[in-house]
């Protein structure tokens, strides 16, 4: 299960614009998906089935974690901004649980025994890091290139809230690393970028987290002090509508005053525990692979006395089941089924050998559902999910994929370019970005038919700007995106006649709207 909510905050600094620069475009939210042409697909059937589907033979919602049991090898190389190999870098593969390897002297790395499908990975080395890259693994996949760039180094001072003494043995972690504090209570994380999140935990203390704001010095070093309050344990069990204990349920806890949120998972006995929570009023809910969250339980803790035996209930929720078949009506195994809403909530499942899928215990509301394979996709189907009821969907695949190449103005392929595809459905129609291979080729695989706007960005472009979009109609596997040559601007920024060592720079063709843009970090 994946749920995403995105927010960004933009800070601006206006400067003179010189011709020949890249132009930033801004997407505007389209009309509600219910009003688009895809709301009534011809090759889909929906009916509301009476009662609730039996849960005993159900598959799981959101289970797209890759298995470590496979025959494929994911290979790649870590390089720097000068295209030089980086040895000794840590590469993290985001599966459950995450896997890590260290690059060889030539920057090479490999992950063995993987199943085919999409993966995400990131590289770190000292004060350098790469963006999270996506790789689609198959029997013909090429090498993955991770380009690291300098980032900020954050020095985290972990201290006790009651007295300010350094906390030894605290864990300071980001998306891929975990650093343990020493006797001084300090941990250093390099290669940090804007919006990176950091979590701090320590035995006997309530956890804390923060998000990195735009650093004043993009590759500088700065300090952050985190005060941890003493906490006491909160524990209990999760039970279903019939009173049975639920194994593998996720318990979600959120503090009212601190706004801290965390989670725990039930064990083989349906029991769960959070070792230390500070004094606060907490909202506690639980869900599982086949159950949705019931009404929250409000618990007030004093941070000193443990609270045990809390029973959290789950509910049947809404249910979506169905079958994915090919154009000849034969069931398709291994198709990815996605259920998504406009607010960013999404759930995924993979069809079984008989083409069946089941997304159980989902929230109620209006959603869109579709299925994809490596080269096929179904239409997006609008469904209304109601608590304690199921909806059954019959999805028919058709040849519907998107692929092509990225070249420069001379027709030469551009490797490692980032290609993005958007539809008018915005959140629901969002497609994960792809990176071109050594031949400049990209392949989004199966995507629902319709009009998409494609944008491409050179690998050396590390700002938020994108080129003008190219409209294409899917299916189309012969798209050619021509990326204009990169222009440059040189100049100086002075304050009272003295050079500024760090500043933000905006390049825009719309000076009156420059506040909407994000400055490019520049250094002397």
User: Which two tokens mark 94?
Assistant: 């985001």
Q: List the Cα angle 74/421/110 in 5-degree steps.
A: 10
Matching fold, domains 72-150 and 233-315 = yes
Measured CA to CA, the distance from residue 313 to residue 296 in angstroms comes to: 9
At 175 the pLDDT is: 86
Radius of gyration of the chain (CA): 25
User: Which two tokens mark 384?
Assistant: 């209304």
**Would you give per-residue pLDDT tens digits along the chain (524 residues)?**
333 322 222 223 222 222 332 222 222 222 233 333 333 223 344 444 444 444 333 334 444 444 456 889 999 999 998 889 999 999 999 988 899 999 999 999 999 999 887 888 999 999 999 988 888 888 888 889 999 999 999 999 999 999 999 999 999 999 899 999 999 999 999 999 878 899 999 999 999 999 888 666 778 888 999 999 999 999 999 999 889 999 999 999 999 998 889 999 999 999 999 999 999 999 999 999 889 899 999 999 999 999 999 999 999 889 999 999 999 999 999 999 999 988 878 888 999 999 999 998 888 899 999 999 989 999 999 999 988 888 999 999 999 999 999 999 999 999 888 899 988 765 566 788 888 888 899 999 999 999 999 999 887 664 444 556 799 999 999 999 998 887 777 888 888 888 877 777 777 666 555 555 555 555 54
* Residue (of 420, 404, 397) closest to 467 by Cα position: 420
Report the chain's terminal Cα–Cα distance, integer Å: 45
Measured CA to CA, the distance from residue 285 to residue 287 in angstroms comes to: 7
**CA separation, residue 20 to residues 23, 226, 488, 492, 520 (Å):** 9, 45, 8, 19, 17
User: Which two tokens mark 40?
Assistant: 């009534």
**Collapsed DSSP state (helix, strand, coil) of residue 379:** coil
User: Which two tokens mark 52?
Assistant: 């609730």
At 489 the pLDDT is: 77
Q: Judge contact between 146 and 122, C-beta under 8 A.
A: yes
Structure-token match 């030469």, residue found: 412
* Residue (of 4, 8, 3) closest to 27 by Cα position: 8
pTM over 0.85, yes/no: no
Region of 29 on the Ramachandran plot (φ > 0 left; ψ -120 to 50 alpha; else beta): beta
Homologous superfamily assigned to 233-315? Carboxypeptidase-like, regulatory domain (2.60.40.1120)
Q: Judge contact between 338 and 369, C-beta under 8 A.
A: yes
- May I ask the CATH architecture of the domain 28-52+319-460? Sandwich (2.60)
Q: Where are the domains of the chain?
A: 28-52+319-460, 72-150, 159-228, 233-315
User: Which two tokens mark 49?
Assistant: 């089935």
- Give the count of alpha carbons within 13 A of 241, CB side only: 12
Q: Judge contact between 101 and 89, C-beta under 8 A.
A: no
Measured CA to CA, the distance from residue 263 to residue 273 in angstroms comes to: 9
- What CATH fold (topology level) applies to the domain 72-150? Immunoglobulin-like (2.60.40)
At 52 the pLDDT is: 43
User: Which two tokens mark 86?
Assistant: 């980086």
Q: List the Cα angle 129/7/193 in 5-degree steps.
A: 15
Measured CA to CA, the distance from residue 442 to residue 415 in angstroms comes to: 10
Q: Does domain 159-228 have CATH number 3.40.50.970?
A: no
User: Which two tokens mark 280?
Assistant: 């606060």
Q: Judge contact between 136 and 118, C-beta under 8 A.
A: yes
């Amino acid at each position: 299960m994946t749920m995403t909510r995105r927010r960004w905050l933009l800070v601006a600094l206006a400067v003179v614009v010189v011709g020949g620069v890249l132009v930033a475009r801004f997407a505007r939210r389209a009309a509600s998906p219910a009003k688009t042409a895809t709301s009534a697909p011809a090759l889909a059937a929906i009916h509301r089935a009476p009662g609730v589907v039996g849960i005993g033979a159900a598959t799981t919602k959101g289970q797209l974690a890759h298995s470590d049991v496979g025959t494929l090898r994911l290979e790649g190389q870590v390089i720097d901004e000068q295209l030089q190999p980086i040895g000794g870098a840590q590469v993290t593969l985001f599966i459950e649980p995450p896997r890590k390897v260290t690059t060889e002297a030539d920057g090479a790395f490999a992950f063995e025994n993987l199943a085919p499908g999409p993966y995400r990975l990131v590289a770190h080395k000292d004060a350098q890091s790469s963006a999270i890259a996506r790789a689609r693994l198959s029997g013909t996949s090429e090498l993955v290139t991770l380009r690291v760039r300098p980032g900020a180094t954050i020095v985290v001072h972990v201290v006790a809230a009651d007295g300010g003494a350094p906390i030894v043995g605290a864990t300071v972690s980001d998306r891929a690393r975990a650093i343990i504090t020493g006797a001084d209570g300090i941990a250093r994380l390099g290669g940090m970028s804007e919006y990176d999140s950091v979590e701090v935990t320590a035995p006997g203390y309530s956890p804390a987290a923060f998000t990195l704001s735009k650093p004043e010095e993009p590759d500088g070093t700065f300090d952050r002090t985190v005060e941890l309050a003493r906490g006491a344990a909160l524990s209990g069990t999760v039970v279903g509508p019939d009173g049975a204990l639920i194994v593998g349920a996720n318990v979600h806890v959120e503090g009212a005053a601190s706004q801290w949120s965390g989670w725990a998972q039930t064990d083989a006995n349906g029991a769960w525990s959070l070792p230390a929570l500070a004094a606060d009023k907490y909202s506690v809910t639980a869900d599982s692979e086949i159950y949705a969250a019931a009404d929250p339980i409000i618990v007030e803790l004093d941070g000193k006395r443990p609270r045990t035996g809390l029973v959290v209930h789950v509910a049947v929720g809404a249910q979506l089941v169905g079958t994915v078949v090919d154009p000849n009506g034969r069931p398709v195994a291994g198709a990815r089924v996605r259920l998504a809403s406009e607010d960013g909530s999404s759930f995924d499942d993979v069809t079984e050998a008989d083409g069946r899928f089941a997304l159980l215990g989902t929230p109620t509301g209006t959603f869109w559902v579709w299925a994809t394979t490596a080269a096929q996709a179904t239409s997006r189907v609008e469904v209304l999910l109601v608590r304690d009821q199921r909806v059954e969907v019959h999805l028919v695949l058709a040849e519907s994929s998107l692929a092509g190449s990225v070249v420069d103005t001379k027709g030469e392929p551009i490797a490692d370019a980032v290609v993005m595809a958007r539809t008018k459905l915005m959140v629901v129609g969002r497609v994960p970005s792809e990176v071109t291979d050594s031949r400049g080729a990209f392949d989004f695989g199966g995507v629902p038919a319709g009009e998409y706007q494609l944008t491409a960005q050179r690998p050396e472009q590390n700002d938020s700007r994108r080129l003008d979009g190219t409209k294409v109609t899917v299916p189309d596997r012969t798209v050619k995106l021509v990326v204009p040559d990169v222009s440059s601007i040189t100049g100086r920024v002075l304050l009272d006649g003295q050079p500024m060592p760090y500043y933000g720079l905006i390049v825009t063709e719309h000076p009156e709207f420059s506040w909407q843009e994000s400055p490019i970090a520049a250094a002397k």
